[in-house]
């Protein structure tokens, strides 16, 4: 009973997902030797067969790391070196002394870094590609368009204002980068955010939350509201079940925030422009061996790397052989990037029978975290109003730093794939 | 409320069951089904489907009532109650339509004496207890007859069902060797087999947190379902479910209903990502500045009583 109670927690859902390490289907001959995978199968009605549980068996960064500027592929030596450096970070001692490097650690960071990164980080080896992005040729996202720049700048400014009087800025930690410590809390703490808060893309700071405030659930962002899943998605598992006229894809992703997608194979037009959806509106057709899916009609509340309602995806799903599925997506949104870009990666087929997909996304059902964040903030306010305790404006409540990529005091700087 | 709607129900239910039986006994291959068979000759359930009945309000036969929650009106009689605060502002749109019910046989749900009390308490505290209001995963069979379309994708090794409500899904495994989930679930673990042209689905591994309907009918984690799906015509699935839960019921019982294909040529599932719809309901009281206020002047003032029942896990936990 207690185990199930725990399993409801957002974090626990993630741990369960990670402890089920993928077992990739190996093509072996009668002597147990690995063989080349068989050809891509077809369905009973003659279409390419995409069915199965699929996931990555290596990790490739979306964007090319800055010190591999002109290289499309890592050498084996570079991969080994990077894997070693990443493993060192992941396995780094999580003792209290380490978390409080230079005496700069804070209580919030102590929580954010209370685990070593091991349990939050997949143990996948680096793949051969230096980036999933294959277009543009430099492997980097195109520049942000003016609208997206404006949105990001406004959100960074707002986020820093809310953190200005907290320990994070007082100690000049990475999550205050671009801001400064001002002891007086910002009046902006009483303002509505300049844009609908979604995710932390581009905003400084690791750990939970998007902004340092818990006035209501909207302040906490999509992740803590259990609504973070989006397409395209390059992580987690997906289960594909296929019929002649539609394809069902279950994405097991984001610590119990998985979602189900039904892709109709049709030449019917997209939904009317006023119908907007969190995961857009998909229309698929076959081009030779490839399922091509056109996705539009995204909601203004959806967020993929800063893109919202103008996002347009053209996905290409191709079964390369019995064990391999290639996913390529062309991403277009002239209000977010100055040019379209394309990313690609391959997934490996997982064993069917073991049903090793954590397929029930029950983040929301176990979201005790949201209630705790709001109750905690109200309690702090009431306590302070009675003349006791610390000014709540001095406490960082979101994007304060944490375990992401390393340790709180180093933030993204620690990531050799940055 | 349940007792009040008993009269006249049995005859109606009996008539329904007979009608079902006649339709279900034709046996031989149905006209037009050749067009909806898979390559291996099995009926192909793929498509968008939806129940068209009142089972989501109450599995049992019931008369129309003025609201899902009611209060005493001018008269002290139960039959003269008026809508209560949570649905008052919805006027006639807040009422509950009557139904001939979907419970087979005598229309009774065989609760034990002690579990019948819980069912009635669920009914009386619907706003506070029904997991649907929180946008929780709806469970099975409830997901199959909620008033939203759902999609069936029939693959070679699995049948995937995707539901509009809460973006819920269930996988029906055709391989009997498939291993179950590591834990009890909201949507159950389903293994199916063919019996002639019917798909027989055995579903269990429930966590016992779901209801059957908005009338407080509930089950425990002992729930064991045997679902039978029969494609009676290309556009109609006969859906029959045997419900067995020795912790709650004295014997297995069955429900049955048609599920209809959505015939619009462009039918598709649309988002109903209700987590955000339920946030105000669940967390509104924890806001720094609450959005729900007593309205003033000519504007209606609604006091919504939302009791937190004993045993409500989330509230008990954060209220410590």
pLDDT digit string, tens, across residues B71-126 = 898 999 989 999 988 888 788 999 999 999 999 999 999 999 999 999 999 998 88
| pLDDT (0 to 100) of residue A1 | 33
The full set of domains in chain A, from first to last, is 1-25+38-61+229-366 (2.40.128.20), 75-126+141-225+368-418 (no CATH)
Decide if B181 and A365 are in contact by the 8 Å CB cutoff.
no
Q: Which chain B residues are Cβ-neighbours of A229 within 8 angstroms?
A: none
Q: What is the domain-level CATH number for residue B30?
A: 2.40.128.20
Tokens for A123, please give them.
Answer: 């143990």
Mean pLDDT of chain B: 86
Within a domain: residue B89? no
User: What is the distance in angstroms between the Cα of B108 and the nearest Cα belonging to chain A?
Assistant: 31
Distance from the A60 Cα atom to the nearest Cα atom in chain B, whole angstroms: 30
Tokens at residue A356, please? 């090793």
CB contact under 8 A, B286 and A279: no
Q: Which residue of B has its CA nearest to A281?
A: B270
What is the DSSP code (8-state) at residue A185?
Answer: P
Here the tokens at position B61 are 């036969």
Instruction: Name residues 225-284 of chain B within 8 A of A (Cβ).
Output: 265-266, 268-271, 273, 275-276, 279, 282-283
Cβ under 8 Å to A: B residues 42-71: 44, 46-47
Q: Do the interacting molecules here have an ipTM over 0.90?
A: no
Strands B189-195 and B169-173: parallel
Residue A379: CB atoms within 10 A of its CB come to 12
Q: How far is B19 from chain A (nearest CA, A)?
A: 33
Confidence (pLDDT) at A118: 52
**Which of B268, B269, B308, B316 to mutate to probe the A interface, most A CBs <10 Å?**
B268
Name the band, by pLDDT with cuts 50, 70 and 90, for residue A410. low
Tell me if B160 and A216 make a contact (CB, 8 A cut-off).
Answer: no
Check whether A122 has a pLDDT greater than 50: yes
Asked if A245's CB is within 8 angstroms of B46's CB, the reply is yes
Domain-located, residue B250? yes
* Domain total of chain B: 1
- Cα separation, A351 vs A23, in Å, equals 7
- Helix (H) or strand (E) holding A385, with range, is helix A368-385
Percent of chain A exceeding pLDDT 90 equals: 60
Q: CB neighbours (10 Å) of residue A112?
A: 25
Dihedral angle sign, alpha carbons of residues B61, B63, B69, B75: negative
Note whether A268 contacts B266, CB cutoff 8 Å: yes
Q: How confident is the model at residue A22 (pLDDT cuts 50, 70, 90)?
A: very low
Query: Which chain A residues touch B47 with a CB distance below 8 Å?
Result: 245
Query: Which of these, A298, A289, A335, lies nearest to A316 by C-alpha position?
Result: A289
> Above pLDDT 90, what percent of chain B?
64
- Provide mean pLDDT across the span B61-70: 94
Query: Who has greater pLDDT, A34 or A386?
Result: A386
Q: Give the pLDDT band (50/70/90) at residue A12.
A: very low
A87 versus A321: which is more confidently predicted?
A321
Would you say residue B125 lies in a domain? Answer: yes
Q: Do A44 and B318 touch (CB under 8 A)?
A: no
Say yes or no for a CB contact (<8 Å) between A241 and B317. no
Interface mutation target, options B49, B167, B185, B191, chain A, most CBs of A under 10 Å: B167
Provide the shortest C-alpha distance from residue A140 to chain B (in Å): 32
**Whole domain around residue B226: which residue ranges?**
3-63+98-261
Residue A120: per-residue pLDDT: 53
How distant is the Cα of A222 from the closest Cα of chain B, in angstroms? 10
User: Is residue B12 assigned to a domain?
Assistant: yes
The answer, yes or no, to whether residue B30 has pLDDT greater than 90, is no
Q: DSSP readout, chain B? A: -TGGG-TTHHHHHHHHHHHHHHHHT--SPPTTGGGGB-TTS-B---EEEEE-SSTTT-SS-B--BS-SSEE--SSS-GGG-EE-HHHHTTGGGG-B--B--SB-TTS---B-HHHHHHHHHHHHTHHHH-GGGGT----TTGGGGSSS-EEEEE-SSEEEEEESGGG-EEEEE--TT----SS-BSS-EEEEEEETTEEEEEEE-B-S--BSSTT--B--TT-EEEEEEEEEETTEEEEEEEEE-TTTBSS-EEEEEEEEE---TT-------THHHHHHHHHGGGSSS-S-----TTSPP--------TT-HHHHHHT-
| A136: helix, strand or coil | coil
Beta strands in A95-236 (DSSP E): 133-135
**B299-308 contacts at long range (C-beta below 8 A, 24 or more positions apart):** B300/B89, B302/B85, B302/B88, B302/B89, B303/B85, B304/B85, B304/B86, B305/B85, B305/B86, B306/B86, B306/B127, B306/B128, B306/B281, B307/B125, B307/B128, B308/B128
Average pLDDT over residues A338-354: 90
Q: Kindly determine whether residue A371 and residue B317, on different chains, have CB atoms separated by under 8 Å.
A: yes
Residue B174 lies in a domain: yes
- Residue B306 maps to a domain: no
Closest residue to A243, CB basis, from B154, B178, B180 = B154
Burial class (CB in 10 A: 0-12, 13-18, 19+), A40: middle
Residue A36 pLDDT class (50, 70, 90 cuts): confident
Give me the mean pLDDT over the A191-207 stretch: 83
Strand partners, A318: A290, A326
Burial (CB < 10 A; 0-12, 13-18, 19+), residue B146, is buried
Between residues A120 and B173, which one has the greater pLDDT? B173
B313 within a domain of the structure (yes/no): no
For residue range A212-235, list pLDDT tens digits in order. 999 999 999 999 999 999 999 998
B305 in any annotated domain: no
Share of chain B above pLDDT 70, in %: 84
From the candidates B166, B176, B189, B271, which should be mutated to test the interface with A, based on the most A CB atoms within 10 A? Answer: B271
Q: Name the token pair of A86.
A: 């990443």
Tell me the pLDDT band of A236, cut-offs 50, 70 and 90: confident
Residue B186: both structure tokens together: 């909201």
Residue B70: both structure tokens together: 């009611």
Q: What is the mean pLDDT of residues A394-398?
A: 90
pLDDT at B14 over 80: no
């Amino acid at each position: 009973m207690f185990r199930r109670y725990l399993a409801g927690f957002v974090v626990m859902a993630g741990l369960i997902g990670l402890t089920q390490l993928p077992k990739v289907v190996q093509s072996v001959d009668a002597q147990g030797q690995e063989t080349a995978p068989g050809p891509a199968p077809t369905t009973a009605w003659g279409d390419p067969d995409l069915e199965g549980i699929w996931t990555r068996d290596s990790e490739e960064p979306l964007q090319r790391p800055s010190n591999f500027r002109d290289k499309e592929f890592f050498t084996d030596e570079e991969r080994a070196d990077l894997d070693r450096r990443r493993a060192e970070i992941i396995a780094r001692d999580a003792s209290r002394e380490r978390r409080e490097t230079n005496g700069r650690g804070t209580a919030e960071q102590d929580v954010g870094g209370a685990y070593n990164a091991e349990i939050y980080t997949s143990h996948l080896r680096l793949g051969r590609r230096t980036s999933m992005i294959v277009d543009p040729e430099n492997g980097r996202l195109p520049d942000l368009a003016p609208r997206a720049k404006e949105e990001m700048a406004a959100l960074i400014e707002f986020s820093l204002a809310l953190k200005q009087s907290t320990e994070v800025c007082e100690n000049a930690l990475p999550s205050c980068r671009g801001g400064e410590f001002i002891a007086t809390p910002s009046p902006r703490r009483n303002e509505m955010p300049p844009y609908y808060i979604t995710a932390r893309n581009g905003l400084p700071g690791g750990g939970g939350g998007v902004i340092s405030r818990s006035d209501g659930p909207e302040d906490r962002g999509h992740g803590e509201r259990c609504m973070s899943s989006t397409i395209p998605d390059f992580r987690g598992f997906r289960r594909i079940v296929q019929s002649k006229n539609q394809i069902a894809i279950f994405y097991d992703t984001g610590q119990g925030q998985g979602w189900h997608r039904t892709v109709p194979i049709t030449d019917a037009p997209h939904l009317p422009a006023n119908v907007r959806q969190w995961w857009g509106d998909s229309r698929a057709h076959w081009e030779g061996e490839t399922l091509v899916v056109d996705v539009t009609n995204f909601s203004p509340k959806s967020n993929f790397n800063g893109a919202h309602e103008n996002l347009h995806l053209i996905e290409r799903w191709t079964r390369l052989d019995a064990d391999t599925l290639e996913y390529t997506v062309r991403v277009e949104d002239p209000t977010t990037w100055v040019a379209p870009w394309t990313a690609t990666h391959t997934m490996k087929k997982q064993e069917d029978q073991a049903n090793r997909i954590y397929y029930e996304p029950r983040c929301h059902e176990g979201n005790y975290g949201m209630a705790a964040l709001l109750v905690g903030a109200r309690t702090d306010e009431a306590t302070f109003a009675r003349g006791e305790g610390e000014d709540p404006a001095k406490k960082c409540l979101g994007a304060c730093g944490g375990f992401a990529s390393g340790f709180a005091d180093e933030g993204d700087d620690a990531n050799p794939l940055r | 409320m349940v007792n009040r709607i008993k009269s006249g129900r049995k005859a109606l239910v009996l008539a329904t069951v007979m009608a079902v039986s006649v339709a279900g006994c034709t046996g031989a291959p149905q006209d037009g089904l050749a067009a909806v068979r898979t390559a291996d000759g099995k009926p192909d359930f793929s498509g968008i489907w939806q129940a068209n009945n009142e089972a989501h309000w109450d599995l049992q036969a019931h008369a129309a009532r003025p609201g899902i929650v009611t209060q005493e009106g001018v008269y002290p009689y139960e039959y003269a109650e008026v809508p209560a605060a949570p649905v008052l502002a919805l006027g006639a749109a807040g009422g509950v339509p009557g139904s001939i019910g979907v419970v087979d046989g005598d229309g009774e749900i065989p609760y034990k004496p002690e579990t019948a009390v819980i069912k009635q308490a669920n009914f009386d505290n619907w706003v506070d207890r029904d997991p649907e209001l929180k946008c929780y995963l709806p469970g099975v069979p409830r997901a199959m007859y909620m008033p939203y379309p759902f999609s069936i994708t029939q693959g070679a090794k699995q049948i995937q069902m995707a539901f509009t409500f809460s973006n819920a899904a269930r996988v029906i495994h055709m391989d009997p060797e498939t291993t179950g989930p590591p834990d009890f679930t909201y949507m159950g673990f389903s293994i199916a087999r063919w019996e002639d042209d019917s798909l027989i689905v055995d579903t269990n591994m429930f966590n016992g947190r779901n209801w059957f309907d908005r009338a407080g009918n509930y089950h425990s984690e002992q729930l064991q379902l045997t679902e039978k799906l029969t494609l009676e015509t290309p556009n109609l699935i006969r859906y029959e479910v045997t419900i067995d839960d020795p912790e709650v019921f004295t014997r297995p019982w069955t429900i049955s209903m048609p599920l209809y294909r959505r015939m619009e040529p462009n039918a598709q599932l649309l988002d109903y990502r209700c987590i955000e719809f339920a946030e105000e309901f669940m967390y509104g009281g924890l806001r720094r500045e609450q959005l729900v206020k007593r309205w003033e002047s000519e504007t209606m003032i609604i006091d919504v009583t939302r009791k937190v029942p004993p045993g409500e896990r989330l509230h008990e936990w954060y209220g410590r």
